[in-house]
Amino acid sequence: MSDFKNKKALITGGASGIGLLMGKKALQNGAGELIIWDINQQLMVKEINNLVADGYKVSGQKVDVSDGQSVNEAATTLIHEGKVPDILILNAGIVSGKYFHEHLNGEIEKTIGVNVLGCMLVTRAFLTEMISRKSGHIVTIASAAGMLSNPKMAVYAASKWAALGWSESLRLEMELLKTGIHVTTVTPSYIDTGMFDGVRTNFLFPTQNPEKAVSKIIQGIRKNKIFVRMPFMVYSIPFFKGILPTKWFDLIVGKVLGVYKSMNNFKGRT
């Protein structure tokens, strides 16, 4: 079990959405300190003040997780202050939601930078310290899109496939080296936070309630689960992809369930 009591939890992209909800839930589960990293300093300061007013110990740093210098400077400050996180939740993520050929200059690089490099750079900044003390828990908020391709999600899906593969490899390394560090990979379907406004879902893969999704994630961390997948049908994706011919899989998932049309009316967060 990974106990939150008196632990330091750092969450990237923690000033809004499920990042903020996970931070609140971590504090409610006894975390001694919450550290928020976010690019939106104004919003971050507002949410920190709200949490501090509720009696919690919370701090934050403006960090661009896609920028190595930004990450290293912020991490160095925390390390010098003796604030190496016990629980590191890699939540920061962005999506553009358009056909691949429609991406503008810089959009591909930014998506990969935040969704992939952000996980790697932030983890690398703290991992040596975590290995030295032989404890810690790293949580990668990936996506079901890392298991299932989808039109208008080429870059986002690629970033989540990369995050998923990296997170699983990291877990195997930590186990092989007997570091005492746990790694949990989260692969949810769409969560109703505004990030995917306009998407169309179905009864097998419904949009997830943010509070319920966060409760499952926190429970998964506490139980040291390797994967936290939601809804339950996400667990079946590797099985059906493995046994069905690709065209059959496309027919069932794409046409019958309409997954391949889910992004047709995508608006995203304004």
Residues 6+ apart with CB under 8 A from 52: 58
Q: What is d(CA 182, CA 123) in angstroms, rounded to the nearest whole number? A: 13
Helix axes 17-28, 210-222, angle to 10 degrees: 50
Residue type at 28? Q
**Residue 156 a catalytic site member:** yes
Transcribe the chain into DSSP letters: ----TT-EEEEETTTSHHHHHHHHHHHHTT-SEEEEEES-HHHHHHHHHHHHHTT--EEEEE--TT-HHHHHHHHHHHHHTT---SEEEE-------S-GGGPPTTHHHHHHIIIIIHHHHHHHHHHHHHHHHT-EEEEEE--GGGTS--TT-HHHHHHHHHHHHHHHHHHHHHHHTT--EEEEEEEE--BSSSTTTT----SSSPPBPHHHHHHHHHHHHHTT-SEEEESGGGGGHHHHHHHS-HHHHIIIIIIIS-GGGTTTT-----
Maximal C-alpha separation, the chain: 56
Q: What is d(CA 167, CA 187) in angstroms, rounded to the nearest whole number? A: 11
Single out the catalytic residue among 56, 156, 190, 235.
Answer: 156
Catalytic residues: 156
